[in-house]
């Protein structure tokens, strides 16, 4: 390789992972093979590929000589017959695309058409380095994954030097990524200019704009990385269908709309209906269809300018879900269940989750214990949204039991399973807090914080947001107990971490909680400050994805009504109460099990504000549909006594 840092990068990976049985040999195939052929040792090299190598990475520049193609054929034959080595192929882009010499044309035809392997393009070897990183993460077999934090790559907790994100082909071609990066640079210049001129209002405005852009930028970075990882899986296993190959090549070039058009929903639905008529006989065809649907969903995730992308994703999932069950694609099913939960469609999410649970229980040997734990955790959250509290508790206990076992017996994946267990503990603590079981709530909240503090100490970029969530939940707990000093301590710790690391939706949560907290402390200026910040964030989020964020926005509006009512600002209180009621009435139509209690709370608050018995009656009627909800119990107790 001509690149100066290529060998040092490989050596660095070998030093990091040789103790875990991973070692990379670097060959310049044409040079080495010529020398081997001259010495009569080509067979030794072929034997190494066929019998020892777990993976082969082929990098083509301007030519593809006979020895390279010979070794590629050896690798392919071994993969077909022995299921190894995995094959990864990359072609150098010269000018606008691959240089179409006769040798390169032949190599592309063999790889894409004869072997059915996806091939990627590169302008810099950092694209290939990323492929190697992901392969290593898979080989570690401990739940490891490649992630990005502040533009740097990690495999689990280990930072990887010698690879630049901007050198990777898919990032170089993504216009939205480049636009956001330029915007961040412009905002930095504006902030520096405002500081120089002591324009404090502009400093605050530009800083807020930068924070918003940074969150969008980080999400896009992650989505592009996930796309690259999925492309690599297609490259690794071979037999990719032509539609997916073309779609991924377009995505890699940043042509998102064009890729989306290759997999229209109408064709997916037609194929789905046809295959469902044939049932399980066509299992491989069902798998292929589900894989196509996954690529369509990826195109929609990357299409950030499309305001209808969430509805289009829902339609795609729903159209293919039965095919996913027929071919046991639990990843697609789980992702759909999680998507429905995030979009606040709890009844449908519960239906899909229960069906997936049945699939797991009937085919236990096909799935990992960690898969069961993840599903039980998700079903617990969904049951909470549906006020199915006994089932909610049962699912949380199941998830905790599995993850506690995994932490004890699986030392390789220790941190991964500890993080999952901390999530279980945190959610269980919040559950028992809402049920008034303070002893159990504190038990689990403390254990969640202990684990997350340890993890965040080892890898703050990865785990600080989770730790902030636990601090926030502890603040809520102590606030309800009337221990304002300790509540303030945890809220303050959460706020610092959230403002440094969290997504906007998490920031809105802590701002909303602080607004309520400071209102009760009589600190109205602080309360209003955080209340407005929460509303501003949630209005932006709800504009982009109302199904997901309207619930939080209604909560902030209702809190604003309560706040301004207490300040005797009748006009503002009236405005916010009406906004909250309007949204919550729509949510109740969509999901009454989840939102009846929220609407009852709004009617109850507005009833006191207007001194109107009609709203008290509405609140009482709704509260009686959710008697286990603590807010509903309070409404029933107050209005019936």
Residue 589 lies in a domain: no
Residue 503 lies in a domain: no
3-state helix, strand, coil in the chain (%, to 5): 75, 5, 20
Over residues 157-201, the pLDDT tens digits come to 677 888 999 999 999 999 889 999 999 999 999 999 999 998 988
* Nearest in space to 112 (alpha carbons), one of 229, 268, 9, 241: 241
Positions of the chain with pLDDT under 50: 1-3, 35-39, 412-413
The whole-number pLDDT of residue 46 equals: 82
Q: Domain of 89: which CATH number?
A: 3.40.50
The whole-number pLDDT of residue 143 equals: 63
Residue 487 lies in a domain: no
The whole-number pLDDT of residue 573 equals: 94
Structural domain of residue 42, as residue ranges? 6-165
- Cα(382)–Cα(349) distance, integer angstroms: 7
CA 476, 477, 481, 482 dihedral sign is: negative
> What pTM does this model have?
0.79
Residue 428 lies in a domain: no
- Cα(306)–Cα(600) distance, integer angstroms: 35
At 523, list the tokens.
């600190």
How many domains does the structure of the chain reveal?
1
Over residues 280-326, the pLDDT tens digits come to 556 788 999 999 999 999 999 888 888 889 999 999 999 999 999 99
* Nearest in space to 325 (alpha carbons), one of 290, 364, 365: 290
Residue 307 lies in a domain: no
At 285, list the tokens.
């065809």
Residue 155 lies in a domain: yes
Which pairs count as long-range contacts for 143-151, CB under 8 Å and 24+ apart, including other chains? Answer: 143/370, 143/413, 143/416, 143/417, 144/416, 146/225, 146/229, 147/222, 147/225, 147/462, 148/218, 148/221, 148/222, 148/225, 149/461, 149/462, 150/461, 151/221
Longest dimension (CA), the chain: 98
Q: Which residues contact 397 (CB under 8 A, 6 or more apart)?
A: 428
Three-state DSSP at 286 gives helix
The whole-number pLDDT of residue 5 equals: 66
The verdict on whether omega for the bond into residue 85 sits within 30 degrees of 0, i.e. cis, is: yes
Angle at alpha carbon of residue 354, lines to 436 and 427, rounded to 5°: 30
The whole-number pLDDT of residue 515 equals: 92
The whole-number pLDDT of residue 31 equals: 52
Beta strands 86-94; 120-122: pairing state? parallel
C-beta separation of 25 from 11 below 8 A: no
Residue 225 lies in a domain: no
CA 503, 141, 381, 434 dihedral sign is: negative
Residue 478 lies in a domain: no
């Amino acid at each position: 390789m001509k690149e100066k840092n290529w060998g040092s990068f490989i050596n660095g990976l070998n030093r990091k992972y040789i103790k875990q049985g991973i070692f990379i040999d670097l060959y310049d195939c044409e040079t080495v093979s010529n020398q081997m052929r001259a010495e009569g040792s080509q067979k030794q090299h072929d034997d190494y590929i066929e019998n020892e190598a777990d993976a082969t990475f082929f990098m083509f520049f301007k030519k593809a000589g006979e020895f390279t193609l010979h070794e590629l054929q050896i690798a392919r034959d071994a993969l077909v017959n022995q299921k190894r080595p995995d094959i990864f192929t990359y072609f150098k882009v010269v000018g606008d695309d691959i240089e179409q010499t006769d040798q390169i044309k032949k190599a592309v035809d063999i790889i894409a058409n004869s072997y059915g392997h996806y091939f990627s393009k590169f302008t810099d070897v950092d694209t290939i380095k990323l492929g190697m990183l992901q392969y290593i993460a898979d080989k570690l077999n401990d739940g490891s994954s490649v992630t990005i934090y502040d533009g740097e790559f990690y495999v689990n907790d280990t930072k990887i030097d010698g690879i630049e994100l901007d050198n990777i082909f898919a990032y170089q071609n993504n216009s939205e990524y480049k636009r956001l990066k330029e915007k961040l640079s412009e905002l930095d210049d504006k902030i520096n200019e405002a500081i120089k001129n002591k324009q404090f209002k502009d400093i605050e405005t530009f800083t807020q704009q930068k924070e918003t852009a940074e969150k969008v930028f980080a999400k896009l970075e992650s989505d592009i990385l996930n796309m690259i990882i999925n492309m690599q899986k297609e490259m690794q296993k071979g037999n990719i269908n032509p539609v997916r190959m073309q779609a991924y090549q377009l995505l890699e070039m940043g042509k998102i709309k064009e890729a989306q058009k290759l997999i229209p929903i109408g064709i997916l639905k037609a194929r789905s209906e046809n295959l469902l008529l044939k049932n399980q006989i066509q299992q491989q065809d069902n798998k292929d269809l589900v894989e196509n649907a996954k690529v369509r969903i990826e195109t929609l995730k990357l299409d950030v300018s499309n305001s209808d992308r969430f509805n289009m994703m829902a339609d795609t999932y729903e159209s293919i879900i039965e095919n996913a069950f027929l071919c046991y694609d639990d990843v697609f099913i789980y992702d759909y269940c999680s998507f429905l939960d995030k979009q606040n469609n709890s009844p449908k999410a519960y239906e899909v989750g229960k069906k997936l649970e049945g699939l797991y229980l009937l085919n236990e040997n096909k799935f990992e214990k960690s898969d069961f734990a993840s599903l039980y955790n998700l079903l617990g959250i969904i049951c909470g949204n549906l006020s199915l509290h006994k089932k909610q508790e049962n699912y949380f206990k199941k998830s905790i039991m599995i993850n506690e076992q995994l932490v004890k017996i699986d030392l390789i994946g220790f941190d991964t399973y500890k993080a999952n267990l901390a999530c279980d503990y945190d959610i269980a603590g919040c559950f028992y807090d809402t049920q008034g079981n303070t002893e159990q709530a504190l038990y689990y909240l403390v254990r969640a914080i202990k684990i997350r503090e340890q993890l965040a100490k080892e890898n703050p970029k990865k785990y600080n947001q989770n730790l902030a969530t636990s601090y926030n939940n502890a603040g809520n707990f102590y606030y309800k107990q009337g221990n304002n000093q300790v509540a303030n301590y945890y809220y303050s710790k959460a706020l610092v971490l959230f403002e440094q690391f969290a997504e906007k939706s998490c920031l809105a949560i802590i701002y909303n909680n602080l607004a309520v907290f400071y209102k009760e402390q009589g600190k109205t200026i602080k309360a209003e400050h955080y209340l407005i910040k929460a509303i501003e964030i949630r209005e932006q989020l709800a504009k982009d994805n109302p199904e997901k964020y309207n619930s939080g926005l209604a909560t902030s509006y209702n809190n604003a009504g309560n706040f301004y009512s207490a300040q005797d600002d009748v006009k503002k209180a009236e405005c916010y109460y009406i906004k909250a009621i309007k949204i919550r009435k729509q949510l109740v139509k969509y999901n009454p099990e989840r939102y009846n209690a929220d609407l009852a709370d709004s009617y109850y608050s507005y009833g006191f504000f207007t001194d109107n018995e009609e709203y008290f009656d509405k609140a009482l009627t709704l509260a009686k549909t959710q008697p286990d909800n603590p807010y509903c119990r309070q409404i029933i107790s107050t209005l019936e006594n």
